[in-house]
Chains A and B, each alone.
Chain A
């Protein structure tokens, strides 16, 4: 049996005035590309904030296996404050994630590592361009590269494709899928775009207010989506 990397044990969460989800159980297998789908406001990001341990569940638990230290979570958030005038180059932005009590200038090894990630994410040719002037797809790739620099074994993409055109969406997810398959990186992709989830994910977790369903992505038929939408 394949290893489990993350377990949601009877997880419930409610804001003071409103329950978000209740009694959620899910085992995430190592190397899976999981898509968490559902309309806006059903608690997808709330769930991820619990995985990131920024929010405490009302009851139940989020468990990392074999232990918390063994799982390095990389998170690509939905929003970032990058405007047209953002000055850092793509390379410098990616290398921000080399923090620590280190000398201000990067070592040869650190530079080599950044170059390697830029190559993996197809950003080498544009790495000197200011991030503020980069296209939406290049920005998302840079956010992804920054998260990958820390060598995560669980990568969370929070609506990363929401603002992209169809070509850029597919380019980004093809890249993530490739890393997922080659490096056995476990991926959680949060989206409300079900066709896109079907195209790239292995499994799904469909959240509805006070209801959820999970399974293999091939089981997420139009009929099931229709049924879930009527719950």
Chain B
């Protein structure tokens, strides 16, 4: 399996995606941003389609759209009652735009499915290098703001009382999330990216009780999904995103059951 360059690339990219998604997921869950993450992935679809329309790499279009909208959504997000409806509206617009750009770009249906559902063979060595750089950037930023982000995500009231720069933190986090969505969408596709950014962390929180341990276990769950998913996809020739979603859903429901039995 590893004699094929595309499988080597897929495993390298998948590993990066699992690490980033697992760690970011812990904060996505703590900040109740699962729905927003899903919307960012749809915005990513529109961005990728725009990239193809413009003759760019899909990843660059994704980065452009998700980064701009993450800052915009952060501003909208000030009032949570307004947030849900705004996110739904933006989500609808993003899918509409994605379809338009794909149609204008005259690209065939396989392009669309590639963006929406991900692909193993589509990853080149150059993609891997670009994803490595982006992942390293996200990880370094996370390391720098980790203690602040942890406080603000797991105790926003306490963080506000202690005078933390919570607004700026929120925007930085959303931009990091936009980058993570764009990177991760390369393998699992934009429709299923929220699986890796939410389920591993949501499962981890039932087993361990510190932020560091949750991040570690979430990375393990994400790696399990991606590595096993890639292998099963190679063997069966079925879509990798199908296997990843099944494995992550099994992890999550097992965690729920464990929690029920424990309590």
Contacts and interface: CB of A to CB of B under 8 A. Distances in A.
B151 A87 contact: no
A89 B157 contact: no
In this complex, which of A52, A97, A130 has the most chain B Cβ atoms within 10 angstroms of its Cβ?
Answer: A97
Nearest to B30: A87
Given A75-B161, A93-B155, A98 B210 contact: no
A135 B114 CA distance: 50
A100 B155 CA distance: 15
A93 B154 contact: yes
Q: What range describes how many residues of A lie at the interface?
A: 20 to 34
B209 A130 contact: yes
Given A101-B144, A104-B212, A128-B209, A88 B154 contact: yes
B238 interface: no
B211 A88 contact: yes
Contact of A92 (B158, B161, B164, B211): B211
Contacts of B148: 99-100
Nearest to B164: A99
Interface string A50-90: 00100000000000000000000001010111000101110
A173 to B, nearest CB: 20
Nearest to A130: B209
Given A99-B147, A99-B162, A104-B146, A92 B210 contact: yes
Contacts of B150: 96, 99
A101 B141 CA distance: 11
Given A87-B214, A89-B209, A97 B156 contact: no
Nearest to A85: B205
A98 B205 contact: no
A98 B147 contact: yes
Interface in B223-263: 263
A93 B161 CA distance: 15
B64 to A, nearest CB: 30
Contact of B162 (A79, A143, A150): A150
Given A88-B209, A92-B211, A101 B147 contact: yes
B70 to A, nearest CB: 23
A227 interface: no
B161 A77 contact: yes
A102 interface: yes
Contact of B209 (A92, A97, A99, A101): A92
Nearest to A90: B209
User: At the interface, is chain A mostly helix, strand, loop or mixed?
Assistant: loop
Given A89-B209, A101-B144, A96 B161 contact: no
A96 B155 contact: yes
Contacts, number: 64
B154 A79 contact: no
A130 B206 CA distance: 10
Interface string B151-182: 10011111101101000000000000000000
A131 B211 CA distance: 13
Contacts of B109: none
A200 to B, nearest CB: 22
Interface in B110-135: none
Contact of B147 (A89, A93, A100, A143): A100
B78 interface: no
B186 to A, nearest CB: 26
B261 to A, nearest CB: 15
B1 interface: no
A140 interface: no
Given A87-B205, A105-B212, A150-B162, A80 B143 contact: no
B141 to A, nearest CB: 12
Contacts of A130: 209
Contact of B151 (A99, A128, A133): A99
B146 to A, nearest CB: 5
A146 interface: yes
Contacts of B144: 101
Contacts of A102: 147
Contacts of B146: 104
Nearest to B150: A96
16 contacts: A80-B158, A85-B205, A87-B206, A87-B209, A88-B154, A89-B210, A93-B154, A96-B150, A96-B159, A99-B150, A101-B144, A104-B146, A104-B212, A143-B158, A146-B155, A150-B162
Complex A-B, nearest 6 residue pairs according to Cβ-Cβ distance, in ascending order: A87-B205, A89-B209, A92-B210, A96-B151, A104-B146, A99-B147
Given A97-B151, A104-B147, A128-B209, 5 more contacts: A88-B211, A89-B209, A91-B210, A101-B147, A146-B155
